[in-house]
Structure 1
Amino acid sequence: MAGPLGRGKDLRIIGKSTSAKITVGGGFESLFQGNTHFRQTKRQEIKKLATEGQHPEFLFLGCADSRVSEGTIFNADPGTLFAERSIANLYQPKRDLTTKAILAYGVNHLKVKHIIVMGHYGCGGVGAAIASPPKAPWDESTKAIQRWIMPIRRVYAESTRPEIVALRNANKGKSVVPSPKLQDPGFRALVEENIKNTVKNVANDEIIKQHFSNPSLGEIYVHGWVYDIENGEIRDIGVSVGPPGKAIPQAPFPAVAKLAAKM
């Protein structure tokens, strides 16, 4: 490839005698301006992190939704959150080697103290788990999504939470079940139950259980929070877990109006 790209620069591909003209603009302009502002306002923080390394206190496991960026919703400086995001903030220990490796690195090498599992109301992955699956045959894209959200479908089918039971009953007999409305109580409850299930999966992972059973490895706590995409509020769903006999540090975020059932 030719030298550094700029506006109107040529991109020369190895093995090609001609080049393609690259014009930077359109949607990329906002990214360029954002990076410029970031470099100008965070110059000292960037330099310090480069020379001293990262020492985050928090590991964030969230949803890949573009509205729920961890740095944005916490207005966090670089180096605050070690993060991984997936569709519907799921963790499937036997299938999700990426998140497992992140857990291992976060707790064993970075020595994070708090793991934050955060879902959000209006989550598309949770809504898709309520809706009827697409008609077969499935293409590779559909297979990937539907297989990934299967654990949420199971929670939806088996939950005894009254709001979810009411939603299941309302959908019973429908030939096609649509995605629920944003404010549907059953939808919101399933978002919370999905967070609770991920907290349980993380806390039961062997990596975390080793820390719980061996205080010399350092204290680790797992928390379940939910983000409201309508007003930007974060709430605690009340399912935090930690080492046996240790008091769990309480975050200042308020509890949800109606707590999810305890684990």
Structure 2
Amino acid sequence: MTDAKDQNEAIRQLLAGIKGFRARYYERRPDSMRQLVTEGQHPEVLMIGCSDSRVDPALLTQAEPGELFVVRNVANLVPPYQPDGSYHGTSAAIEYAVKVLKVSHVIVLGHAQCGGIQGLIRLRTGQATDDDFVSPWVSIAGPACDPYIAGTSEEASQGDIDRLQQFPDVVERAAVRASVENLMTFPFVRERVEAGTLSLHGWWFDLETGDLWSIDPQTKIFLPVE
């Protein structure tokens, strides 16, 4: 059984991290932080990443404060443009980054061993789910699974299920590709892409090897980044 001392250790580590951040940036490099306060943020990149604790975009890219505008959600998904008055956190971040901050790049960052994609696979192969929010959310990328299922979700064979669960990276990458395509359903994104002032990127990070793969803009195939 975990005692109170062990439970508080995680918080102590976080507080120590904040002290270290303050020492590094506010005490040793005060001018850079003062500039971010007085002039505001001007990031060049919007990064759409996963909530997974192992793939923090700032840590992976070694970005400095002010360099990345980041939105994270389960399975790093981009929903289609749907201005219906409901709650759309990811869409709001995209709108703010593109229309207000005027970023030059939008990157969808997927990764290996994604729990959200595992949930999507279970959902699309007709397995039982027990959640209120995850399944509806990951269904955004449902069509990404379908090319790898012989029949409909109700007709998925055990072979389909085993294959997808054994090689989930196929669906993880397909979901990244689908999210990049969904970005183009936002009129303000499409307008800037077509004007040549905004570039869209799809990345997939391999947790096992540390390798990064990127969508080739011509072939739409994922290729390793050297």
User: Which TM class, normalised by the smaller chain length?
Assistant: 0.7 to 0.9
Matches of residues 83-232 of structure 1 in structure 2 within 5 Å? 83-92=70-79, 93-94=81-82, 97-131=88-122, 135=128, 138=130, 142-157=131-146, 159=147, 164=148, 172-174=156-158, 177=161, 184-185=166-167, 187-213=168-194, 215=195, 219-232=197-210
C-alpha root-mean-square deviation of aligned residues, in Å? Answer: 3.1
Distance 1:228 1:198, change over 3 A: same
Is 2:58 aligned against 1:71?
Answer: yes
CA distance in 2, matches of 1:180, 1:189: 8
Partner of 1:38: 21
8 Å CA contact retained: 1:224, 1:239: no
8 Å CA contact retained: 1:55, 1:110: yes
What is the percentage of aligned positions where both structures have the same residue?
28
Instruction: Identify, as 1 or 2, the structure richer in helix.
Output: 2
Offset at residue 42 of structure 1 (A): 1.4
Offset at residue 165 of structure 1 (A): 5.3
SS in 1 for 2:53: coil
Q: Which has the higher relative contact order, 1 or 2, with Cα contacts under 8 A spaced 6 or more apart?
A: 2
Write the deviation string for residues 56-101 of structure 1: whole angstroms up to 9, x where unpaired: 0100011111111111001111001001011111111327622222
8 Å CA contact retained: 2:44, 2:103: yes
Offset at residue 176 of structure 1 (A): 11
CA distance in 1, matches of 2:149, 2:126: 19
Distance 1:179 1:80, change over 3 A: farther
Letter in 1 for 2:76: N
CA distance in 2, matches of 1:177, 1:255: 26
Distance 1:73 1:238, change over 3 A: same
Is 2:214 aligned against 1:236?
Answer: yes
Distance 1:239 1:96, change over 3 A: farther
TM-score scaled by structure 1?
A: 0.68
Offset at residue 220 of structure 1 (A): 0.5
How many residue pairs were aligned?
204
Offset at residue 177 of structure 1 (A): 4.8
**Structure 1: any 5+ residue segments left out of the alignment?**
1-23, 241-253, 258-263
**Structure 2: any 5+ residue segments left out of the alignment?**
1-6
Is 2:9 aligned against 1:26?
Answer: yes
Partner of 2:4: none
Write the deviation string for residues 223-246 of structure 1: whole angstroms up to 9, x where unpaired: 101111123332212248xxxxxx
Partner of 2:68: 81
CA distance in 1, matches of 2:115, 2:197: 34
